[in-house]
Structure 1
Amino acid sequence: MMLVGLKVKQPAIVNRLRKSYDDLASTHPGMKSVTFDKLLQDIEFFSPGITVKLVNGETDEDVAVDSPYNLFVGGHKLV
């Protein structure tokens, strides 16, 4: 899955990222140094080369580097 929706600012994608950012910022003090808008801008810049993979107990995907930037989403299987 590629993050193509950011270039056109699809509200559903931006809203999901914002919710995740807010959740992480509420528990991780380091997030205060990066605004959501700056983070979104950086993701937009790098998104053409980002591959997103879901890696959890229900998937058989290997944690493999397939592109210049890889984003793995999962739980204990990533530990």
Structure 2
Amino acid sequence: MSRPASAGDESMSGLIEWVRTAREERWGLLFDLVFAIVWVTMVDGLFRVLEGPDWAYYGFMLAGIVAYFGFVTSLEYARSEPE
């Protein structure tokens, strides 16, 4: 006879699953973090030197999202085998 699952068991299995996923994806997560830090630092430094308008600053910050997906897509394409 099996015992019913309690809320503690579900949260523990969720935590274990999260840890497994984090271990599998650690280099991807690290790459995401490094890209974000570099992009924000670059944009912030550029706008401190040039003293650009706020709307352009926020536009460049949002452009980081497009730049990230463009870079990741081109990187995956470059790593794929030629067909």
TM-score (norm 1): 0.42
Q: Greater RCO between the two (CA within 8 Å, min separation 6)?
A: 1
- Bigger radius of gyration among the two: 2
Structure having the larger proportion of residues in helix = 2
Higher strand share: 1
